[in-house]
Structure 1
Amino acid sequence: RHLYPIVDDKIITKERAIEAGIDVPELYGIIDTEKGIDKLDQIIAGRNDFVIKPAQGAGGDGIMVIADRFEDRFKTVSGKIVSHEELEQQISSILSGLYSLGGHRDRALIEYRVTPDTIFKSISYEGVPDIRIIVLMGYPVMAMLRLPTRQSNGKANLHQGAIGVGVDLATGVTLRGTWLNNKISKHPDTTNAVDGVQLPNWDGFMKLAAGCYELCGLGYIGVDMVLDQDKGPLILELNARPGLNIQIANDCGLTHRAHAVEARLEELKAKGIQEDAEERVRFSQELFGHIASKEI
């Protein structure tokens, strides 16, 4: 638990990731006091799009995504026009701890807005789809793609109505999905199939995720990543308490995979060796990958 702050505070996660040479969305600035809100103009000067988020937020709450400027105002990703005062109010709410885990005072970060790779156009509604990989003791054990819907207001959070789609660890090909706890094979807004999609740069995502174990030292984490059309795979955040919907999306439990990893660690310990991120990825892909698509 003493390691939780590393993943619960997005600013600390980002600093650690940058030190480790892991790609993350660029941080434009941090506001940590009411007086600091005056720095906002300086931070966003010359930028038309950016994201404001709480450092210790949970479940995607408190995040404001600005897609463009509109005269002396701003346009959010869903097309809503907001004033400068509203941006300041949002930051003030973040600082007061409105969105933080446990409700204590928080910091606001302003960062690069991710533009999703065009591969997601046909299976996502607005927003930014993301990929979550569950990593156990450094071994990726399960993955899902989270797709925003109209219902989730363009957010990739399942409890707000996004779709969770299982991903084959070996190939990066999507499997069937789950939406509001129902199994589905098409996106409700675009009506395109969500299964059978090849995610590009899959091995890159797997290596990034496996490498996060060294970054934070937590035995069980959810690594949330995005595919930016210009910058490729980026790590958005690490989650110390990833939910269990990923099992529903993959139609598979985590228990036997966890046992397999534990057995592997015992075996390596007996030999006195440790595997690096690349070797851990290979192990997971060979053991947990290549799932034949099942008929529903």
Structure 2
Amino acid sequence: MNWISPFRLKRAGMLSMNRRNVGYIGRYNERSSYPLVDNKLKTKLIAAEYDVPTPRLLQVVRQQHEISHFRELVDELDGFAIKPAKGSGGKGITVITRRDGDDYIKASGAPVTLETLERHLSNILAGLYSLGGTPDVAIVESLVQPAADLAKCSFQGVPDIRIVVFQGYPVMAMLRLATTDSDGKANLHQGAVGVGLDIATGHSLNAVQFNRAIHLHPDTGLALGNIAIENWRQMLEMASRCYEATGLGYMGVDLVVDAIEGPLLLELNARPGLAIQMANGEGLLPRLRTIEQLKRFHLTPEERVAYAIKAFARPIQQN
């Protein structure tokens, strides 16, 4: 696995936060499209219209009195996920993987009671996790059972894949793996591992935790240099279709691979973070400029994916 220091990465075209905010988010993302990605419920509904599958929706809790229906629902479930519709950065997401008597076991292994989950729902409705603290709704989804080849890479939590999409073209990707530090969640700023992926093949490149290069998963000891994502082209095309679904020119598309359902859209992000560059050992800016310089854009997701695979494939390293 090759590693590029932050200094060399800057010289190699690292996209800075200011340039991202002004030159890409501000320039290519219409404000009118933000509600589609800032609200997970709206994301699920619009994704379905564009044949992008998502985890099955079990319940939407909009009012405090509806929390009583949640008790009835989960009485027959072993696993599920609770999410604030307008949460960000993984805040407020609770993943339950199994039951142990009257307790519900989180992805981190910690037990919680039904009463604790009901209070959590109440806090979501009050806006505790939403952008700006505005009142929110809670989503209860089916539990994603990660495909075995990816499940072994993560620690307790479900691994996911972030693909940055620019003007409908997938330009950079990484695998995010949960750790003890991240409490079973795949959020890099909380301590998850980011593994850069070759956009052409879905094979692992570099890996980072807290922006430092690593070669082994800190909890499992698994080597991170020989991971390959199955159904990779399908996932790229799913990410590309989100451009038509939302109209957003610059976004992060988060996908998971379910053992039965296959690739699923987890959520969209109109302000994707920049750590993906560290995970890839390469700056985003040259790839974004390549797309900006196209004389004619490709009209279909399949055409855009084919172009990205050809344009951004990593050269084969000679031993």
Give the letter for the 1:196 counterpart: N
Is the partner of 1:235 in helix, strand or coil?
strand
Superimposed CA distance per residue, residues 251-276 of structure 1 (whole angstroms, 9 cap, x where no aligned partner)? 11111111110112xx116xxxx420
Aligned residues with identical type, % of pairs: 46
Q: 2 CA distance for matches of 1:103 and 1:195?
A: 41
Q: TM-score, normalised by structure 1?
A: 0.94
Q: TM-score, normalised by structure 2?
A: 0.87
Counterparts of residues 216-227 of structure 1 (less than 5 Å):
216-227=246-257
Pick from 187, 190, 205: which aligns with 2:217?
Answer: 187
Is the contact between residue 226 and residue 236 of structure 1 (CA under 8 Å) also seen in structure 2? yes
Indicate how the Cα distance of structure 1 residues 293 and 133 shifts in structure 2: closer, same or farther if over 3 A, else same.
farther
Is 1:202 paired with 2:232? yes
Give the letter for the 1:244 counterpart: L
Show structure 1 runs of 5+ residues with no match: none
Residue of structure 2 in register with 1:131 after alignment: 161
Q: 2 CA distance for matches of 1:209 and 1:121?
A: 21
Give the letter for the 2:74 counterpart: I
Indicate how the Cα distance of structure 1 residues 125 and 291 shifts in structure 2: closer, same or farther if over 3 A, else same.
farther
Is 1:173 paired with 2:203? yes
Give the letter for the 2:293 counterpart: A
Is 1:38 paired with 2:62? no
Q: 2 CA distance for matches of 1:12 and 1:294?
A: 47
Q: 2 CA distance for matches of 1:147 and 1:90?
A: 25
Deviation for aligned residue 1:119: 0.7
Q: 2 CA distance for matches of 1:119 and 1:168?
A: 18
Residue of structure 2 in register with 1:60 after alignment: 90
Residue of structure 1 in register with 2:304 after alignment: 280
Deviation for aligned residue 1:45: 4.4
Residue of structure 2 in register with 1:268 after alignment: 296
Superimposed CA distance per residue, residues 17-53 of structure 1 (whole angstroms, 9 cap, x where no aligned partner)? 1122211000001001111212212333422111111
Is the partner of 1:198 in helix, strand or coil?
coil
Is the contact between residue 175 and residue 293 of structure 1 (CA under 8 Å) also seen in structure 2? no
Is the contact between residue 124 and residue 136 of structure 2 (CA under 8 Å) also seen in structure 1? yes
Give the letter for the 1:68 counterpart: R
Is the contact between residue 28 and residue 44 of structure 1 (CA under 8 Å) also seen in structure 2? no
Q: 2 CA distance for matches of 1:121 and 1:80?
A: 19
Is the partner of 1:218 in helix, strand or coil?
coil
User: Whose RCO is larger (CA < 8 A, sep 6+)?
Assistant: 2
Is the partner of 1:11 in helix, strand or coil?
helix
Deviation for aligned residue 1:54: 0.4
Is the partner of 1:226 in helix, strand or coil?
strand
Is the partner of 2:245 in helix, strand or coil?
helix
RMSD of Structure 2 on Structure 1 (CA): 1.5
The answer to which of 115-124 and 236-245 deviates more is: 115-124
Deviation for aligned residue 1:294: 9.3
Counterparts of residues 108-187 of structure 1 (less than 5 Å):
108-187=138-217
Residue of structure 2 in register with 1:236 after alignment: 266
Superimposed CA distance per residue, residues 85-114 of structure 1 (whole angstroms, 9 cap, x where no aligned partner)? 111100011111111111101100000111
Is the contact between residue 168 and residue 291 of structure 1 (CA under 8 Å) also seen in structure 2? no
Is the contact between residue 239 and residue 253 of structure 2 (CA under 8 Å) also seen in structure 1? yes
Misfit runs of 4+, over 6 Å = none
Deviation for aligned residue 1:283: 0.4
Show structure 2 runs of 5+ residues with no match: 1-30
Q: 2 CA distance for matches of 1:189 and 1:38?
A: 38
